Amino acid sequence: MKRRTLTIGSLVRFFRQDCGGALAEMAIIFPLLAILLAAVSEFGRYFQTYTTLSKATRTAARHLSNHPYNATEITKATNLVVCGKLVCAGGDELVPGMTPAKVCIESTGSPKIETVTVRIPHIAAGCGAPHIYQPIFDIGGLLHNNTFNLAIPVNPSTTMYYVIE
């Protein structure tokens, strides 16, 4: 059996080999890429939720500004925010977790109504309740930081002039 001797040349060749270098680089970069993918996905979903609810409040305010301000039309406007339709059946919400109890409809002016406001409040204070965004990924858990959370309130609001005399 031939015995190999350790020489400087063999050490240099050993350290110049790059077999497995790409795998080591990927092992270092992969967690960062996973966190970035989760964060971009969650921010995209948050803005989709905000845009959907913003358009829903705009549609409901437009409906109320052109119809008599009574309990029937307020119910229809609430259904427009929750389901996107005048009549809302359970299970067809525009945004998961959205309920009629979260919608706040107010008017200004007395006795003649001047404006109507449809909003989802930031905090629960008399009218409506906040809608909290429900993230899919626990980014705080990925970062080993339990205080970081993307479950934040979504609170769009729309005010329009009441056009019925």
pLDDT value for 81: 95
Residue 23 confidence class, pLDDT cut points 50, 70, 90:
confident
CA distances in angstroms from 86 to 43, 74, 77, 97, 119, listed in the order given: 30, 10, 7, 19, 17
- Is residue 17's pLDDT more than 90? no
- Give the tens place of pLDDT for each residue, 97-134: 899 999 999 999 888 899 999 999 988 778 888 999 99
Is the Cβ–Cβ distance between 121 and 104 less than 8 Å? yes
**Cis bond upstream, residue 111 (ω within 30):** yes
Is the Cβ–Cβ distance between 162 and 65 less than 8 Å? yes
Residue 6 confidence class, pLDDT cut points 50, 70, 90:
confident
- What whole-number percentage of the chain has pLDDT above 70? 98
- d(CA 23, CA 65) in angstroms, rounded, equals 62
- Is residue 63's pLDDT more than 90? yes
**Please, what is the average pLDDT of the chain?**
88
- Is residue 1's pLDDT more than 70? no
- Is residue 58's pLDDT more than 80? yes
